[in-house]
Amino acid sequence: MASASPSTPKRVSARIVVGSFWLLVIVVTTVVAGQMKAMMMVREEADRIDSMRHLAARPAMKPYTIAGSAGVSSVRDSKDPDYQKVWRMMQKHKADQPTSVVLADKTMREVVTGKAVLILSRASVAARATAACASFKRGEFYLAREPMFKFNSVFYLSKRLSADRRRDINNSYDLIPARDTQWGLRKEDGNWTGLIGMVQRDEVGLALSVINPSAEAEDVAFGVQIFVPIELVILAGRTSWSSGSILDTARIFSWQAATMWALIERPCPFIRRAGGTSVHKAARGG
């Protein structure tokens, strides 16, 4: 049977040993607590997607962007090899989709689990990621450090408008929300869908572009007023280590766990055993 010592040792040497033991316990627990707090506050920065080069190195990733937008044209028309690799990834995964698909919860779930990225304007991804954060508690979103492409948001007018009408619109106009939030896609017959299609059919005379269209739309519309610059960025995501299993968390503190296990397995030096230890028995001639 083993029992704890009922009283504090009287000898100075024993007191030094006991004091050193408890001092070590205090120091170790303080260090472990500090390390735990630091590791909870600082995220691992490995495996980030911070550029098109990083994205191109992950062919299984889905690079979502809005069909017919500058996200498509800037990647498709670039001469950079990394951009061309990403363009082939877009085609393979059919990642150029309508706005309703690109910004859907299903797509954001793919982003936060590291299966996809969004290529949109900085303001757009910031607003969507902020709204999605409440739904995804086991991960985080981040922006790539290197921006992709910069362009200016502009007003586009129908080329069929008379010069007087254009002047009047430039001087005074009212903005009416469009029925279709998609910018537009060119059909096989040369006509357009979305906002560009409405301009082409004279259903509207003015379209405000939040996402800059490609040069293909210039046959039916042209820009007349430049607004603030817009920057295309990559929105990526990853699952936080804190959301993993208990084993994932324990793996971070592997050396502490090993030390604790060794202390548990070894007999405590301050436990007195019936009959004494082998050293005591040898001293008594037993």
Sign of CA dihedral 248, 250, 252, 258: negative
Q: How many CB atoms lie within 10 A of CB 61?
A: 22
User: Which three-class secondary structure state does DSSP give residue 225?
Assistant: strand
- Give per-10-residue mean pLDDT for the chain (286 aa): 58 74 78 71 70 93 89 88 94 91 91 92 82 79 84 67 75 51 66 72 60 50 54 84 50 56 50 48 46
Question: From start to end of 126-220, where are the E strands?
Answer: 140-143, 149-158, 206-208
Segment (H or E) for 253: none
**Cβ(8)–Cβ(18) below 8 Å:** yes
pLDDT value, residue 207: 58
**Cβ(205)–Cβ(197) below 8 Å:** no
47: left (phi over 0), alpha (psi -120 to 50) or beta: left
Residue ranges and CATH numbers for the domains of the chain are 52-149+232-243 (3.40.190.10), 151-230 (no CATH)
Q: Is 266 exposed, middle or buried (0-12, 13-18, 19+ CB in 10 A)?
A: exposed
Tell me the pLDDT tens digit for each residue of 211-267: 444 455 555 554 445 455 678 889 998 876 544 445 555 555 565 556 555 554 554
Among the listed residues 101, 109, 116, 113, the one whose alpha carbon sits nearest the alpha carbon of residue 132: 109
pTM of the model: 0.52
pLDDT value, residue 61: 93
> What residue type is 120 in one-letter code?
L
Q: Cα(113)–Cα(140) distance, rounded to whole angstroms?
A: 9
What is the DSSP secondary-structure string of 94-115? T-EE-HHHHTSHHHHHHHHTTS
pLDDT value, residue 88: 95
Among the listed residues 69, 64, 65, 63, the one whose alpha carbon sits nearest the alpha carbon of residue 183: 69
